Amino acid sequence: MVFSAQGPVNRLPINMEKEKIEKAIKAIGRPEITFKEILVRDIQRVLIEKSYDEAIVFAEQYFLSTDVNAGLVRALVVCRRYRLSPIAATQVLDILSNREAGKE
């Protein structure tokens, strides 16, 4: 569960965003790197509490010059391009990190 400054955030997007989530995941594809869950949670927190731009800057600074940086930033950029809400984008990151961990 993701928490915002106001408390727990409902993780279920509206039906319209489910289609956008599927399109974004298809556009992103399967990342060649593993997203560590704790790092994904930090990016999700920044995304929910601030903005896409802040989350991208956070990922770029935290993972300076790594494949993880490129994968996470690409995922965030695709989510923004598909106009996903921050909550829906956190679900995309969860799905991608679960795929890499073999949970899906």
Map out the domains of the chain as residue ranges: 3-100
What average pLDDT does the chain have?
77
Per-residue pLDDT tens for 14-51? 567 888 999 998 998 876 666 677 778 889 999 999 99
This prediction's pTM = 0.69
Is 87's pLDDT higher than 50? yes
Pick from 67, 24, 17, 76: nearest CA to 48:
76
> Which residue carries 């594809």 as its tokens?
29
Residue 8 or 70, more confident = 70
Q: Of 44, 103, 45, 102, whose CA–CA distance to 72 is shortest?
A: 44
pLDDT band at 70 (very low <50, low <70, confident <90, very high): confident
Structural contact between residues 28 and 92, judged by C-beta atoms closer than 8 angstroms: yes
Query: For the chain, what's the residue count?
Result: 104
pLDDT band (50, 70, 90) for residue 97: confident
- pLDDT for residue 95: 87
